[in-house]
Amino acid sequence: MVANSYDIVYRTLKKKIASGEYPEKALLPSEPQLCSMFSVSRTTVRKAVEMLQYEGYVKPQRGIGTVVLRSRAVQDLNKLTSMTETLMDRGYEVSLKSCLITVENADETVAKYLDIKVGSKVAHVLRIIKADDTPIAIINNFIPYVYVNGIENYADKLGSLYRLLKTEFYLDIEMTRDHIVAINATRQQALDLEVEKGFALINVYRVCLNRDKAVSFDIVSARSDMYEYRTSFFNK
């Protein structure tokens, strides 16, 4: 094993949990088994498991073993953040299965959400996001091209779109309006996300606003077994 072997153990186990190889309520292999699997010491295994426990992936139970908890990443809708940022904060290694940026004419739906004329030029950013090498979501972003002239040149180096909009195009998203529904994966979505047709997805329609102007219309289709959204309400 190389230096920081506990990190390799931690990331490998986390990937197996995220992929469902170690499903919710299952037990992780025992400490001696993990030592043998990774050819590491008990101290290394314990540190890796402690990291998983700290991040909410597992919970040691006396006399039973280490139980796998829910593996979904959770996005707090009370905070203004993107899926990419949420996954990275959760400790996932985020990458792109594919990324395509094109310039198109807005159809009626896109024009309605962006409050622009039908046929206006928009940048269409289409990404398939992976979390630890597992496809987790298909994201479509539609942005008035007048705000992001030249964004198509960033296709090969796109990380967080919201961060790119802020740092390169000076578009600071101040608030969002979200509409969340449950859908079943189409054949194409199933192929993209490597699930069965009809698999349960969470669909989020989001309008991003800057000074009351719509600067992005987003459609996020996420795997329901790996991602969820939460919000809190307070009765004052």
- What CATH number is given for 5-68 in this structure? 1.10.10.10
Q: Please tell me the distance from the alpha carbon of residue 127 to that of residue 216, in angstroms, as a whole number.
A: 15
Enumerate the CATH 3.40.1410.10 domain ranges in the chain, comma separated.
73-230
Question: Residue 81 has what pLDDT?
Answer: 78
Enumerate the CATH 1.10.10.10 domain ranges in the chain, comma separated.
5-68
Q: Report the predicted TM-score, pTM, of the whole model to 2 decimal places.
A: 0.69
The label of the residue with tokens 């992780």 reads 28
Hey, is 107 helix, strand or coil? coil
Question: 61: Cβ–Cβ under 8 A, 6 or more apart, which residues?
Answer: 67
The angle subtended at Cα 171 by Cα 204 and Cα 77, nearest 5°, is 30
What does each of the 236 residues of the chain score in pLDDT, given as a tens digit?
444 788 999 989 988 887 778 888 899 999 999 999 999 999 999 999 998 887 678 889 988 999 998 666 777 777 777 888 888 876 678 888 999 999 999 999 999 999 999 999 999 999 999 988 889 999 999 999 999 999 999 988 787 888 899 999 999 999 999 999 999 999 999 999 999 999 999 999 999 999 889 999 999 999 988 888 877 766 66
Contact 97, 135 (CB under 8 A): yes
Hey, is 146 helix, strand or coil? helix
Question: Residue 157 has what pLDDT?
Answer: 79
The label of the residue with tokens 């700290």 reads 54
Give the count of beta carbons closer than 10 Å to the beta carbon of residue 212: 8
- What CATH number is given for 73-230 in this structure? 3.40.1410.10
Paired residues of 49 in beta bridges: none
Quote the crossing angle between the two packed helices 83-90 and 161-169, to the nearest 10°: 120
